[in-house]
A and B are shown apart, each in its own frame.
Chain A
Amino acid sequence: MGMTITEKILAHHADREQVEPGELVNCRVDIVLGNDVTTPVAIREFEKIGVERVFDAERVVIVPDHFTPNKDINSAEQARRVREFARQYGIINYFEVGRMGIEHCLLPQEGLVVPGDLIIGADSHTCTYGALGAFATGVGSTDMAAAMATGEAWFKVPETIKFVYYGEMPRWVGGKDLILHTIGDIGVDGARYMAMEFEGEAIRNLSMDNRFTMANMAIEAGGKNGIFQPDEKTLDYVKDRARRDYDFYQSDSDACYHEVREYDVSQLEPQVAFPHLPENVRPVSEAEGIYIDQVVIGSCTNGRLEDLEMAASILRNKKVHRELRVIVIPGTQEIYLEALRRGLIEVFVEAGAVVSTPTCGPCLGGHMGILARGEKALATTNRNFVGRMGHPESEVYLASPAVAAASAVLGRIAVPWEVVS
Chain B
Amino acid sequence: MILKGKVHCFGDDVDTDAIIPARHMTTSEPDELAEHCMEDAEPEFVRKVNRGDLIVAGKNFGCGSSREHAPIAIQAAGVSCVIAGSFARIFYRNAINIGLPILECEKAVREVQSGDELEVDPVAGSIRNLTRNQEYQAIPFPPFMQNIIEKGGLINYVKERMKQQCQE
- State the A residues within 8 Å of B (CB): 24, 37-38, 40-41, 44-45, 48-51, 66-67, 71-72, 74-75, 78, 121-124, 126, 138-143, 145-146, 149-150, 154, 188-189, 192-193, 219, 222, 224, 277, 364-366, 383, 385-388, 392
- Chain A residues contacting B98 (CB-CB under 8 Å) are 140, 142
- A300 CB to closest chain B CB (Å) equals 12
Given contacts A38-B67, A49-B162, A385-B15, 4 further A-B contacts (CB under 8 A): A38-B66, A45-B155, A140-B90, A385-B17
Q: Which residue of A lies closest to B25 (CB)?
A: A37
- Chain A residues contacting B159 (CB-CB under 8 Å) are 48-50
Our pick among B17, B21, B94, B162 for the contact of A140 (Cβ within 8 Å) is B94
22 A-B contacts (beta carbon < 8 Å): A44-B28, A49-B158, A121-B66, A123-B66, A140-B67, A140-B71, A140-B97, A140-B98, A141-B94, A142-B68, A142-B155, A143-B154, A146-B154, A150-B161, A150-B162, A189-B88, A192-B88, A192-B89, A193-B89, A365-B21, A383-B64, A387-B18
Q: Are A142 and B97 in contact (CB under 8 A)?
A: yes
- Chain B residues contacting A189 (CB-CB under 8 Å) are 13, 59-60, 63, 86, 88
- Chain A residues contacting B67 (CB-CB under 8 Å) are 37-38, 140
Looking at A146, A150, A277, the one whose CB has the most chain B CB atoms below 10 A away is: A146
In angstroms, Cα B92 to Cα A193, docked, is 10
In angstroms, Cα B18 to Cα A364, docked, is 12
Q: Is B48 an interface residue (CB 8 A)?
A: no
Q: Are B93 and A143 in contact (CB under 8 A)?
A: yes
A-B contact count (CB 8 A): 136
- A292 CB to closest chain B CB (Å) equals 20
In angstroms, Cα B161 to Cα A149, docked, is 11
Q: Is B27 an interface residue (CB 8 A)?
A: yes
In angstroms, Cα B60 to Cα A192, docked, is 8
In angstroms, Cα B22 to Cα A224, docked, is 22
- Chain B residues contacting A219 (CB-CB under 8 Å) are 90
Our pick among B13, B28, B97, B142 for the contact of A188 (Cβ within 8 Å) is B13
Q: Is B119 an interface residue (CB 8 A)?
A: no
Residues 56-77 of chain B, each 1 if its beta carbon lies under 8 Å from chain A, else 0 = 0001100111111101100000
